[in-house]
Chains A and B, each alone.
Chain A
Amino acid sequence: MKARRLLDESPDPLSAALLRSWAERAPEPGAITRAASVLGVSAAAMAPAAALGATATAATVSSHASLLVIGKWFIVGLAGGAVVLGSAEATRRAMSTGKQTEAVSAQVSAPPAKPSRSGLPGVVVPVSEPEPASSAGSLPVRRETDLAGAASATRAVPSIRWEIAALDRARQALSAHDPAAALRSLDHLEHKGPSANFDQEAALLRIEALGALGRHTEASTLTQKYLDRYPDGPGSARMRALIKSQTAHQR
């Protein structure tokens, strides 16, 4: 039997007004365009918009780490593009760096061996997927300043949801002014395997965490490596300019 909705039952005017007000809610202008950019659906249109956002905010930043937080949002879009554009880019990076090995290709090409229902309509997820550690304190600390880290073809490659959760933990730790915990979460993510989807965002978070810990030399080295790896990206260009202006300002 089809259930009837309140609005179908001629509710009183106040109820109707409240219910109808729902449809009037909308995100701020540009939200859909930004989401499209994150998904790589219209990447060409995304970069300038993100650059403008970063520029507007950049005027207020006062530290190197804060600067990189802004750049991070650039990278969210780029990482989203990587999710969609997928295997070609991941494979290209693996070949060019020599550090991301078969694990990446396996992630983008191999179907899950034993799918199970995820609870979402239309979705299957691999079973025995690793869960992000609930306590950052239990994670092994590994000081690794290389962007890609050591990849192992034998490691289980984490899923995108696992990666998002790990990055969320890192972000949350940074927001809570606990950069050490953020680093541990990023180390854990890296330890599980190279992140083909969010490696750029992970690198940005790591740089931010290092900066917050006062490990400026490592942060600078990693920043340079980041820029070396993505020299032509709109995010890199903007980051370079911001860092340059920040350096000049500090002098």
Chain B
Amino acid sequence: MVESTATDPGSPASVVDGPAHPGSALDRNARLRAALSSHFTSVWRMVQALGVPAASAEDVAQRVYLLFSNKLDQVRLGSERAYLMAAAVRMAANARRQLARSLEHPSDDIDGAADPGPDAEGLLEAKQARRLLDQVLASMSYEQREVFLLFELEQLSLTEAAEALGVPRGTAASRLRAARSVFQAGVQRLRSQMARSGGHR
């Protein structure tokens, strides 16, 4: 379920108060297909990174698109990605609550993780890098992670990210600064871990 929020997104650029593109069924389908091919992967990885288990991520991503389909006529052309990201954030939060699965207090402490650690920065395997990124993301608060994912990883503008989160731009910027600090601290811990394991060079 996507929950409403009393906070005005604050950016009228992608907000419309009525049907913006009535369009034909053909137009709708073309638009849906384009949104799927361009953004489904982003939606999927967003919901997963926001705490939805891998087994449920596809299901939640599909729900995001069902909602998008339902509101398609009201989403301004060019704002599809921002809309989908916003819906993904909210759907993921809801799914996460439902599944009672919290990443805000991760059990995998980076320093104490059983992971043997990368052997060298330059030799990070892709899979290993993804796992390490997960560890760093897990050390952020949920709110920090949301804005970090949207801005740093999904490349939304700060204004779009704030809109997606339903917070003022300044709040988003503040959370982003905090998230970056946590990220950099996490990377530093990883680097120390690598040095301890003897792989750092």
B61 touches A161 (CB 8 A): no
A122 close to B (CB within 8 Å): yes
Residues of B within 8 A of A52 (CB): none
B14 touches A31 (CB 8 A): no
Residues of B within 8 A of A111 (CB): 18-19
B86 touches A120 (CB 8 A): yes
Query: In whole angstroms, what is the CA distance A57 to B70 when docked?
Result: 31
Residues of B within 8 A of A118 (CB): 2, 4-5
B36 touches A35 (CB 8 A): yes
Residues of B within 8 A of A32 (CB): 36-37, 40-41
Residues of B within 8 A of A41 (CB): 29, 32-33, 36
A121 touches B1 (CB 8 A): no
Residues of B within 8 A of A20 (CB): 129
Residues of A within 8 A of B155 (CB): 5
Query: In whole angstroms, what is the CA distance A80 to B69 when docked?
Result: 9
Residues of B within 8 A of A121 (CB): 9, 11, 14-15, 75, 79, 82-83, 86, 160, 163-164
Min distance, Cβ B18 to any Cβ of chain A, angstroms: 7
B45 touches A123 (CB 8 A): no
B67 close to A (CB within 8 Å): yes
B158 close to A (CB within 8 Å): yes
Residue-wise interface mask of B (16-39) relative to A, using a CB-CB cutoff of 8 A (1 in contact, 0 not): 111110000000110011001100
What number of residue pairs across chains A and B have CB atoms under 8 A from each other? 191
Q: How many A residues touch the partner, as a band?
A: 35 or more
Min distance, Cβ B5 to any Cβ of chain A, angstroms: 3
Min distance, Cβ A188 to any Cβ of chain B, angstroms: 14
Query: In whole angstroms, what is the CA distance A12 to B194 when docked?
Result: 15
Residues of B within 8 A of A98 (CB): none
Spot the interface stretch: A21-29, A59-67, A206-214. A21-29
Query: In whole angstroms, what is the CA distance A119 to B165 when docked?
Result: 8
Query: In whole angstroms, what is the CA distance A80 to B67 when docked?
Result: 10
Query: In whole angstroms, what is the CA distance A84 to B8 when docked?
Result: 28
A6 touches B152 (CB 8 A): yes
Residue from B7, B58, B74 in contact with A124 in the complex, judged by beta carbons closer than 8 Å: B74
B70 touches A83 (CB 8 A): yes
Min distance, Cβ A9 to any Cβ of chain B, angstroms: 10
Main secondary structure of the interface of A (DSSP, over half): helix
Taking A120-B87, A161-B1 as contacts, is the C-beta distance between A5 and B151 under 8 angstroms?
A: yes
Find the B residue at minimum CB distance from A84.
B69
B61 touches A31 (CB 8 A): yes
Query: In whole angstroms, what is the CA distance A38 to B68 when docked?
Result: 12
Spot the interface stretch: A164-172, A177-185, A226-234. A164-172
B114 close to A (CB within 8 Å): no
A19 close to B (CB within 8 Å): yes
A31 touches B183 (CB 8 A): no
B40 touches A17 (CB 8 A): no
Interface residues of A in 23-72 (CB under 8 A from B): 23-28, 31-32, 34-36, 38-39, 41-42
Query: In whole angstroms, what is the CA distance A70 to B57 when docked?
Result: 18
A14 close to B (CB within 8 Å): yes
Beyond A3-B151, A7-B152, 7 additional contacts (C-beta under 8 Å) are A2-B158, A3-B158, A21-B126, A26-B41, A41-B36, A84-B28, A161-B1
B: residues with CB less than 8 A from A are: 1-9, 11, 14-20, 28-29, 32-33, 36-37, 40-41, 44-45, 48, 57-58, 61-63, 65-67, 69-71, 74-76, 79, 82-83, 86-87, 90, 94, 98, 121-122, 124, 126, 129-130, 132-133, 136, 151-153, 155, 157-158, 160, 163-164, 166, 173, 176, 180, 183-184, 187, 190-191
30 examples of A-B residue contacts, CB within 8 angstroms? A3-B151, A5-B152, A14-B121, A14-B187, A17-B121, A17-B129, A18-B124, A19-B152, A20-B129, A22-B153, A27-B58, A28-B58, A31-B61, A34-B62, A35-B40, A35-B58, A84-B29, A84-B32, A115-B17, A117-B8, A117-B15, A119-B166, A120-B71, A120-B90, A120-B164, A121-B14, A122-B20, A160-B67, A160-B70, A161-B2
Top 3 closest A-B pairs, CB basis? Answer: A119-B5, A21-B129, A165-B1
